[in-house]
Structure 1
Amino acid sequence: MKPSITLKSLDNSYCKQIQDLILPIQQIEFNVPITLEGQPDLLDIESNYFKDGGNFWGALHAENELVGSIALLSVGHQTAALRKMFVKKEFRGRELNIAQDLLEILIRYCRDKKLKDIYLGTVDVLKAAQRFYERNGFEKIAAEALPAYFPRMKADNVFYHLKVI
Structure 2
Amino acid sequence: MEIIPYKTNPKHLAGIIDVINYGQNIEADLKIKMVEEYDLFDIENSYQARGGEFWIALDNDRVVGTIALYPLIGKTAVLKKLFSYPEYRGDPIRIGNKLYDKFMEFAKAHGYTKIILDSPEGRDRAHHFYEKKGFNQITAEQLEVEYHYPDRNSLLYESNI
Q: Shorter-chain-normalised TM-score: which range?
A: over 0.9
Which of 70, 79, 83 is the aligned partner of 1:82?
79
Which of 2, 13, 34 is the aligned partner of 1:6?
2
Tell me by how many angstroms 1:35 deviates: 1.1
Q: CA RMSD in A?
A: 1.2
Contact preservation (8 Å) 1:121, 1:156: no
Q: Distance in 2 between matches of 1:92 and 1:154?
A: 25
Query: For each residue in 1:123-155, what CA deviation from the matched residue of structure 2 results, as whole angstroms up to 9, or x when unmatched?
Result: 012110000000011111112112342232233
**Within-5 A mapping of 1:44-83:** 44-62=42-60, 64-83=61-80
SS at match of 1:8: strand
**Is 1:131 equivalent to 2:106 in the alignment?**
no
Contact preservation (8 Å) 2:121, 2:152: no
Contact preservation (8 Å) 1:117, 1:161: yes
Tell me by how many angstroms 1:25 deviates: 1.7
Aligned length: 159
Cα separation, partners in 2 of 1:87 and 1:132, compared to 1, 3 Å: same
* Gap runs ≥5 in structure 1: none
Tell me by how many angstroms 1:156 deviates: 5.6
Q: Which amino acid aligns with 1:7?
A: I
Which of 135, 151, 156 is the aligned partner of 1:154?
151
When normalised by structure 2's length, the TM-score is: 0.93
Contact preservation (8 Å) 2:15, 2:64: no
Contact preservation (8 Å) 2:52, 2:71: yes
Q: Distance in 1 between matches of 2:73 and 2:91?
A: 33
Contact preservation (8 Å) 1:15, 1:44: no
Q: Distance in 2 between matches of 1:18 and 1:58?
A: 8
Percent identity, aligned pairs only?
30
SS at match of 2:126: helix
Runs of 4+ in structure 1 off by over 3 angstroms are: none
Contact preservation (8 Å) 2:120, 2:151: no
Which of 88, 92, 97 is the aligned partner of 1:95?
92
Query: For each residue in 1:106-138, what CA deviation from the matched residue of structure 2 results, as whole angstroms up to 9, or x when unmatched?
Result: 111111000110000010121100000000111
Which of 119, 122, 143 is the aligned partner of 1:122?
119
* Gap runs ≥5 in structure 2: none
Contact preservation (8 Å) 1:15, 1:45: no
Contact preservation (8 Å) 2:67, 2:79: yes
Cα separation, partners in 2 of 1:6 and 1:38, compared to 1, 3 Å: same
Q: Distance in 2 between matches of 1:34 and 1:151?
A: 16
